[in-house]
Amino acid sequence: MKCPKCEVNHPAKLGRDCVCGYRFILNPKVDMISDYKMKILVQKASNMDQNFFTFDHLYFTFMRTYLKPTSCLIPIIIITAVLFGILALANGFMIFELYVCGGVFAVLYIISVLVRPNTKKFKKIYPRAKFLEFFELWDEFYKTEKFISETTMENPPPDWKEQDIYDYGVNSIVIVDDDLTVDYMIKNETHTSNQCLILSENGYPSYLMGIAKDIREKSSEIPVYYFHRYDPNRQRQNEGLDADCWSFLNGKYIDIGLDEKSVNEIKVLKDLKFGKNEVIPLSALPPHFLAQSMSLILAGELVALTDLAILGLNPEIMGVMDFG
């Protein structure tokens, strides 16, 4: 077992305590993941502790890491290099060896792509509930400060003043379909980078609802966007905002949420080949991807998330850490 603290391989037979003092929580032979791999996943999900993340985003990161075809490149390169060395020692360096090894590399890589698990099979091997159980066990001992497990913004911060919102300036109102997504986006400062007011369709946080209504009534030109998850089992257009708290909109808002086209065309989603009945929450997506997508939409450069595919944008281009 590789130690997350000193990165030394610790023999399992020596127990759970590493010589550096780290105590292993997970057993890779029994559990689906080791302490070291969990640490790496948390670092990826938090972009090296720069961003807050939800469990959905952590699991999404786990899926991308596991299902990415390039994850097989290192063992394939090692196999090819060993084969080349054997042939070179046996026959001397010849161009023939290069052709043989190149062919072996190509065949192995193609096989790895064809046989890699799809999303459905992945969730059977690594069920979400089981992964959550292991993460909570690990997080209980090694607390992750950037992890968002519950909503925390129902009440305003101690130094908050209502006038600050007006002084700061609000160019748009963004409504999301889940309370936890509000925390996810605000704690990652999506609202400041886009000068928008972010609330949930349930009216969370409630202390901002009065401000949202006031801003809208003072200027009907302030756009209202509905940013929601992909849910194939529900017709999202003109649904979800029928709560009394949003009655003042009179049904006037712009739907910019995830739809089937988004899932099939946006690189960060289509690589996972989600099934037709998969529900994809916004909090599963990288925060920089969400923030910069919104920036383009609010600036009028895009109409919806599906336009990202047309522009050829992907998480790496948009400043998101590679999941590989």
Task: Report the helix count and the strand count for the chain, using DSSP H and E.
Answer: 14, 4
Same-domain pairing of 123 and 251? no
* Residue 319 belongs to some domain of the structure: no
- 80-87 CB contacts, 8 Å cutoff, 24+ apart: 80/104, 80/105, 80/108
Q: Is the dihedral of CA 188, 192, 194, 200 positive or negative?
A: positive
Q: Which residue, 94, 118, 149, sits at the end of a domain?
A: 149
Same-domain pairing of 167 and 307? yes
Residue numbers of the domain that contains 142: 24-149
Q: Pull the structure tokens for residue 260.
A: 């089937």
Which residue in 250, 270, 317, 282 sits closest to 184, CA to CA?
282
Same-domain pairing of 291 and 266? yes
Q: Which residue, 92, 114, 149, sits at the end of a domain?
A: 149
* Residue 323 belongs to some domain of the structure: no
Same-domain pairing of 270 and 302? yes
- 3-state SS of 254-312? EECCCCHHHHHHCHHHHCCCCCCCCCECHHHCCHHHHHHHHHHHHCCCCCCCCHHHHHC
* Residue 4 belongs to some domain of the structure: no
* Residue 317 belongs to some domain of the structure: no
Q: Does the model's pTM come out above 0.85?
A: no
Same-domain pairing of 173 and 126? no
Is-contact 151 179, C-beta < 8 A?
yes
* Residue 6 belongs to some domain of the structure: no
Q: What is the pLDDT of residue 169?
A: 72
Q: What is the pLDDT of residue 323?
A: 32
* Residue 11 belongs to some domain of the structure: no
Q: How high is the mean pLDDT in each 10-residue block of the chain (324 residues)?
A: 87 85 85 86 91 92 72 64 67 62 68 59 76 88 88 84 65 91 92 88 91 88 88 60 82 83 75 71 84 80 60 44 34
* Residue 121 belongs to some domain of the structure: yes
How many folded domains does the chain comprise? 2
* Residue 199 belongs to some domain of the structure: yes
Q: What is the pLDDT of residue 145?
A: 87
Same-domain pairing of 127 and 198? no
Same-domain pairing of 105 and 205? no
Same-domain pairing of 193 and 285? yes
Same-domain pairing of 169 and 64? no
Q: What is the pLDDT of residue 316?
A: 44
- Find where tokens 């992907």 sit: 314
Q: What is the pLDDT of residue 321?
A: 38
Q: Which residue, 96, 118, 149, sits at the end of a domain?
A: 149
Same-domain pairing of 189 and 306? yes
Is-contact 108 39, C-beta < 8 A?
no
Same-domain pairing of 215 and 240? yes
Same-domain pairing of 100 and 170? no
